[in-house]
Structure 1
Amino acid sequence: MSDEQPTVLCLRFCRIGGGQPDSAAYEGLLALLGAFTPVVEAAPPDGALADVGGSLRYFRQDAAGLASVIRVRALALHGVDCAIGAAENPMLARMAARQAAPGTTFVVPAGGAAGFLADRPAAALDGVGTATARTLCGYGLDSVGRIAAAPLATLQRITGVRAGRDLWERANGVDRTKVLPNAAARSIAAERSFPRDELDPEQHRRALLSLTEELGARLRGEGQVCRSLAVTVRYAGRAGYETLTRSRTLPEPTAHSAALTSLAYRIQDSFGLQRARVRGIALRAEGLHDAERASRQLTFDPVDERARRIEAVSDRLRARFGPQAVKPGRLAA
């Protein structure tokens, strides 16, 4: 067995017939991975990273062989199939997992990052969203290979000093993050109740805005980001009070209040309860993990950047003068 080989696995779980595993099955899958390596990082609701560098010699397997053993046990014990990417670092493993179909393993061999990345579109890199990809394509940098070949100074002029260096490193297959062992990501929640059944949609909107502001501030204060939001509405129905819950995943993990509010509003609109007599609204931020390990989509939107700077200042004022020191004008009345 060669000493130079992939040591990071990225797993995407799916039930036979489609769909994500439920929370109980997901926790069982994390425990299953823990039997192979203690270095398992949860990526709810349907993924995980595992550093198996210390496990390959023990199990006398290469990365692909160990991935096959894990897949067989996941199927037998939990009825869940896996698409697995294997590579030398977490970024490449995640990209490899996106190439793998359920029931298969896609391996990026050690030292093979350049060949794997060269022909991939710019948007395939972590942290490169639609706007950034469009800008890069305008300079002829429409593939990862071309980005990797571009001078670092050129990328920094296009995207900024720090973002340019991050982009250049990723395009060259460099990922400085590590697989950090943790438990299944936790969640935080907040709730607003009305003193009586509330018919006014504007009051429903205000309550939801106050919730996203509260959770956003809590997340930022704790150095966390969330992957998804769940909105629960309690309203008067024909047989008494009923509850309705719906969740959606954010485009990227974030603690930015504006992004949380936008998604929460879309979830609320999907309920179709414009005329409902609402007694309470709850919001839950799910899939929490450290903000320092979250990749943020590069952006050229000055409005978004200004909003984030204002948000940072507001957080400092709240920390000094109390949580009610700064709040949106819509909540001031």
Structure 2
Amino acid sequence: MDRIIVHMDLDTFFVSCERLENSKLVGIPVIIGGGDRGVVASCSYEARYFGVHSAMPMKMALRLCPDARVIRGDMEKYSKLSSLVTQVLEDSAPIVEKASIDEHYLDISGIDRFFGASKWTLELMEKVQKETGLPVSYALSVNKTVAKIGTGESKPAGKIEIPQDRIKPFLNPLSIKKIPMLGEATYRLLSRIGIRYIHTLAEMPVDVLQQMIGKNGAELWKKANGIDYSPVEPYTERKSISTENTFGTDTIDLKLLRSVLSGMVEKLAFQLREEGWLTSTVTVKIRYSNFDTETKQCRVPYTSADHVLLSCVLDLFEKLYHRRMRIRLIGVRFTGLVRGNLQIRLFEDTEEMLSLYQAMDKIKHRFGPESVIRAEGFIKKRAHT
């Protein structure tokens, strides 16, 4: 029996959330972002008509669409509305996977024997729109890859069904850019040898693709041929992410302590970005040599950026460490997590900062979390060598 997988995508989610509160934004170009040197987080279809798109520098976006209404955005509000959508889906669907703040996969295999998958999915889409006020697009197919590509083709507020015998005709004429997780560098590499459409990629020998782009070549070939066996994994929300360091010898060395904190923050922030989380609450913990333990926390705008979190952690440490007694243990914890595949402060940081984080994360992903570290971390390294 073929699986039945649904991909649901909230159309221009951030913009739609703002329009719920301000109906005057309906029908006009809207850009969610911040600062002249910041980047576009999201934009309405009216703004896209002028060529604006996500991750574009704000200055360029406003040159293309000078009449756009710019809104800095509110991640806490967006997270609450996203959670509401998730709750509506979980109340109806047997298996729900929350892929990001505005995307969900549903496995409804077997449901057609009782209801009819198309009718059931359409009714669920209408239920989401009625209970949340947010526009939704969906695609129904036999796996996650085809369903996700289908949703992209059905927007805005669209629906599409792609059965097994229609997968190849549907995928073949599309650009390889439509394949999930195919980045710009891979696109340029394939484009240089004439592979620009999915049907061309699907006909390439797998071993040739692996020689060109490494171990991901086989996965890319499978996606181009509409093959994807990955399961829909039930959604569970991570509550926190943390790390602690117990010193071999109790210390009062402030440079060492700050260096250890810096390393902790870098490691945890990279983990946040890798797993697609943002944090809103930072906690620092210290345990003195007499085993007295103290903690202090503060709230921050939703982020996963090292420099924002490190500043907060060091500030908390300065306020917390007042007894000038030797320290046995130090720890950092991030809580108040929400989904969001975002790497820096969404509405405040610059294009240059975004590019820097993307470059560092690529290196860390390939060579390990400690392959690139801040200068403060060298003190910690020297202390352990």
TM category, shorter = 0.5 to 0.7
Residue 185 of structure 1 pairs with residue 245 of structure 2: no
Distance change (3 Å), C-alpha of 1:267 and 1:129: farther
Aligned partners of 2:241 and 2:201: how far apart in 1? 41
Q: Who is 2:305 aligned against?
A: 264
Contact 1:208 1:264 survives alignment (8 Å): no
Question: 3-state DSSP class of the match of 1:140?
Answer: coil
Q: Who is 1:46 aligned against?
A: 102
Structure 2 unaligned blocks of 5 or more: 21-72, 245-256, 284-295, 321-331, 341-358
Q: Who is 1:9 aligned against?
A: 6
Q: CA deviation at 1:49?
A: 0.8
Question: Which has the higher Rg, Structure 1 or Structure 2?
Answer: 2
Contact 1:8 1:90 survives alignment (8 Å): yes
Question: 3-state DSSP class of the match of 2:275?
Answer: strand
Distance change (3 Å), C-alpha of 1:264 and 1:209: farther
Summarize the alignment of residues 8-87 of structure 1 with structure 2, pairs less than 5 Å apart. Answer: 8-13=5-10, 14=13, 15=16, 17=19, 22-59=78-115, 61-63=116-118, 65-87=119-141
Q: CA deviation at 1:150?
A: 1.1
Q: TM-score, normalised by structure 2?
A: 0.55
Give the letter aligned to residue 237 of structure 2.
A
Contact 1:9 1:50 survives alignment (8 Å): yes
Deviation string, structure 1 residues 117-150 (Cα, Å, up to 9, x no partner): 2233323222321112221122222222211111
Deviating more after overlay: 147-156 vs 31-40: 31-40
Q: Who is 2:32 aligned against?
A: none
Q: CA deviation at 1:231?
A: 5.5
Q: Who is 2:198 aligned against?
A: 144
Contact 2:79 2:338 survives alignment (8 Å): no
Give the letter aligned to residue 241 of structure 2.
A
- 2:302 aligned to which of 234, 247, 252: 247
Summarize the alignment of residues 96-111 of structure 1 with structure 2, pairs less than 5 Å apart. Answer: 96-111=150-165
Distance change (3 Å), C-alpha of 1:136 and 1:52: same
Report the number of matched residues: 268
Contact 2:297 2:316 survives alignment (8 Å): no
Question: 3-state DSSP class of the match of 1:83?
Answer: strand
Summarize the alignment of residues 284-323 of structure 1 with structure 2, pairs less than 5 Å apart. Answer: 284=335, 286-287=338-339, 307-308=367-368
Distance change (3 Å), C-alpha of 1:163 and 1:242: closer
Q: CA deviation at 1:81?
A: 2.7
Q: CA deviation at 1:100?
A: 2.9
Q: CA deviation at 1:328?
A: 4.2
Q: Who is 2:172 aligned against?
A: 118
Structure 1 unaligned blocks of 5 or more: 193-202, 235-240, 249-262, 289-298, 312-326
Contact 1:247 1:267 survives alignment (8 Å): no
Aligned partners of 1:90 and 1:276: how far apart in 2? 43
Q: CA deviation at 1:90?
A: 0.8
Give the letter aligned to residue 329 of structure 1.
F
Q: Who is 1:255 aligned against?
A: none
Summarize the alignment of residues 270-285 of structure 1 with structure 2, pairs less than 5 Å apart. Answer: 279=319, 283-284=334-335
Contact 2:82 2:101 survives alignment (8 Å): yes
Question: 3-state DSSP class of the match of 1:155?
Answer: helix
Q: CA deviation at 1:287?
A: 3.9
- Sequence identity, in percent? 18
Give the letter aligned to residue 265 of structure 1.
D
